[in-house]
């Protein structure tokens, strides 16, 4: 083989795109800890985290995911109705609770307007985008249900994911935030102040689906989430069982 041919082969190899992950998972940011642990049990599984609304839009536009895991049933319904996921593969694999948080040392409070506004002071409440991020959608519903929305709607710091909301409180940039209970386990700098009543917002359901039902590797990963071992992994990080499993 000539030197020119060898050099050409090297150039082609260097220019070639990196090999794609065997299974690419798009997942809600709040799932990071259990999914990182689960992904480590498989070869070639890569997880990309973000807000569920953003991920759903990316999948609908043809992003090369193999599995999508969302924290909101309505976003999954959008993907199903648009035939962007395999309808038969949709599963519910976990649930969660919505809580108000503050920096460590803040006293617990009752979700009542005078107490909430006193705790808020001149600051803002960190939440996910109330029109796109599931935690933000649930937060808006909860505040409305408890008669707190009118007083707080102009005092929100809306961000792109529930973890971004958590970070604002942890860094002291906002005195309060609304996140999932499982998020409170991520940072020692924050504490749960109050729990939103279950009836104050839509059920917090995590649902997953395959993009292509014939992808055997992705099917195995998705099936693991609802297996006994997978459910134990979610429970170990504070997630609750699927709602359809406890009804």
* Cα 54 to the center of its chain, rounded Å: 11
Report the predicted TM-score, pTM, of the whole model to 2 decimal places.
0.84
* Beta strands 91-95; 205-210: pairing state: antiparallel
Instruction: Report how far residue 57's alpha carbon sits from residue 63's, in angstroms, rounded to the nearest whole number.
Output: 9
Q: Which residues pair with 126 in a beta bridge?
A: 157, 177
User: Do the beta carbons of residue 30 and residue 96 sit within 8 Å?
Assistant: yes
CATH class name, domain 3-95+204-246: alpha beta
| Residue pLDDT tens, the chain, 247 long | 444 443 334 333 333 333 445 899 999 999 999 999 999 999 999 999 998 989 999 999 999 999 999 998 999 999 999 999 999 999 999 999 999 999 999 999 999 999 999 999 999 999 999 998 999 999 999 999 999 999 999 999 999 999 999 999 999 999 999 999 999 999 999 999 999 999 999 999 999 999 999 999 999 999 999 999 999 999 999 999 998 765 4
CATH code that applies to domain 98-200: 3.40.190.10
Instruction: Report how far residue 143's alpha carbon sits from residue 153's, in angstroms, rounded to the nearest whole number.
Output: 9
Q: What does the chain come to in residues?
A: 247
- How many angstroms separate the Cα of 223 from the Cα of each of 17, 74, 75, 209? 30, 22, 21, 10
98-200 matches 3-95+204-246 in CATH topology:
yes
Instruction: Report how far residue 204's alpha carbon sits from residue 135's, in angstroms, rounded to the nearest whole number.
Output: 9
Instruction: Report how far residue 174's alpha carbon sits from residue 241's, in angstroms, rounded to the nearest whole number.
Output: 31
Q: Where are the domains of the chain?
A: 3-95+204-246, 98-200
For residue 77, give both structure tokens: 């319904």
The predicted pLDDT at position 22 comes to 87
């Amino acid at each position: 083989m000539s030197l020119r041919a060898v050099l050409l082969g090297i150039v082609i190899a260097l220019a070639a795109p990196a090999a794609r992950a065997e299974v690419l998972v798009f997942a809600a940011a709040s799932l990071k800890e259990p999914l990182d642990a689960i992904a480590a049990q498989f070869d070639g599984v890569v997880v990309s985290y973000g807000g569920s609304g953003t991920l759903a839009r990316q999948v609908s536009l043809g992003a090369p995911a193999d599995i999508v895991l969302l924290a909101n049933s309505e976003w999954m319904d959008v993907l199903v109705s648009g035939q962007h996921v395999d309808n038969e593969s949709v599963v519910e694999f976990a649930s969660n609770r919505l809580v108000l948080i503050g920096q460590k040392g803040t006293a617990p409070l009752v979700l009542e307007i005078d107490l909430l506004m006193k705790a808020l002071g001149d600051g803002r409440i960190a939440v996910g985008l109330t029109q796109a991020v599931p935690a933000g959608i649930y937060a808006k519903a909860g505040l409305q249900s408890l008669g707190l929305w009118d007083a707080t709607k102009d005092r929100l710091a809306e961000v792109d994911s529930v973890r971004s909301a958590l970070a604002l409180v942890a860094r002291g940039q906002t005195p309060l935030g609304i996140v999932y209970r499982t998020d409170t386990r991520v940072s020692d700098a924050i504490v749960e102040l109050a729990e939103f009543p279950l009836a104050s917002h839509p059920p917090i359901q995590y649902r997953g689906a395959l993009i292509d039902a014939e992808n055997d590797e992705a099917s195995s990963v998705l099936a693991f989430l609802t297996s006994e071992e997978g459910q134990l992994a979610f429970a170990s990080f504070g997630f609750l069982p699927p709602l359809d499993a406890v009804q």
